[in-house]
Structure 1
Amino acid sequence: MQPINIGITETDREAIAHGLKQLLADSYTLYLQTHNFHWNVTGPQFRELHLMFEEHYTELATAVDDIAERIRTLGVAAPGTYKAFAALSSIEEVEGVPEASEMIRLLTTGHEQIVRTCRSALARAQQGDDESSAALISDRMRQHEKTAWMLRAMLG
């Protein structure tokens, strides 16, 4: 393959891609968790939560593709297995099927974790003068901050 010459050193591209890999793993793990909760939610808020979770996992599905494509743009292979995601993700797996309010709490925690992952990845992108990755990460951070706020509001 032809060498990459986009004005970012190979060392910086690899460091930025590592932060993006962590963001990808967290996003994919939260996608799976949200989809699981969409399938299994019960209770008086069933319809509202079922539809909201669908909106969230649909948005996350688009996000994981965008993040993976940015990693590839930097010339690094994107992780794509459960094993790789488990090793990179900061979001813990959920055992069983929690109650609806616990689902909301867990998803809030997951979105907040992704915001923290974004902050770390953003610093790497800024250090490497990678405005494209910084913009992507900043957009993701804003989305997760807003989603966490809305989920927290549901908890009272």
Structure 2
Amino acid sequence: MSKKNSIGLEVKDSELLANGLNDLLANYQLFYMNARGFHWNIRGEKFFELHLKFEELYNDALLKIDEIAERILTLGYTPIHSYSDYVKKSEIKESKDVSEGHAAVELVLEGFKTLLIKERALLKTAAEADDEGTNALMSDYIRQQEKLVWMYSSYQAKK
């Protein structure tokens, strides 16, 4: 006999999704902190351009962090909420003392790659669980980030 949660999803599927979303949440927290650091510490010829771009990144990440945590709660679980748990769980690692533009952008691209892999896995799990809420969230994130990967990769292109 199957057991459904308050939004009509299988409890076992919801737990699997919540665990994946908590993993994504941890990675977003580190992505956010890194983007914030890049914003504060960027130097050089492209300062004004990159300073604004990194601010856009961390503001967007902050919104996604809240959406992910609220989705975990909607599924009936608790979002992790300590920095020590984020650091332990995240594949994205802390970036310290990065002030050169191309190095920072390369770390952003690596962060997006990690996030996209996790989002695609969640998209597949959500589809199998018939969880349209998580599915829609991941689809939106993937579409947006694929475009950002193209743009930041174009910035990195050598002449």
- TM-score, normalised relative to structure 2: 0.92
Give the unaligned 5+ runs of structure 1: none
Per the alignment, residue 73 of structure 1 pairs with: 74
| TM-align CA RMSD | 1.3
Give the corresponding residue for 2:25. 24
Asked if structure 1 preserves the Cα contact closer than 8 Å seen for 2:28 and 2:61, the reply is yes
Gaps of 5+ in 2: none
Within-5 A mapping of 1:48-87: 48-87=49-88
Corresponding residue of 1:36: 37
Farther-moved stretch of structure 1 (108-117 vs 83-92): 83-92
What count of residue pairs does the alignment treat as equivalent? 154
Q: Are 1:45 and 2:46 an aligned pair?
A: yes
**Map of 1:15 onto structure 2:** 16
Distance in 2 between the 1:24 and 1:143 partners?
Answer: 17
Separation in 1, partners of 2:150, 2:138: 18
Provide TM-score, normalisation by structure 1. Answer: 0.93
Q: Is the 8 A contact 1:125 1:134 kept in 2?
A: yes
1:104 aligned residue: 105
Structure 1 stretches of 4+ with a deviation exceeding 6 A read none
Once the two structures are TM-superposed, the CA of residue 125 in structure 1 deviates from its matched residue by 1.0
Counterpart of 1:54 in structure 2: which amino acid?
E
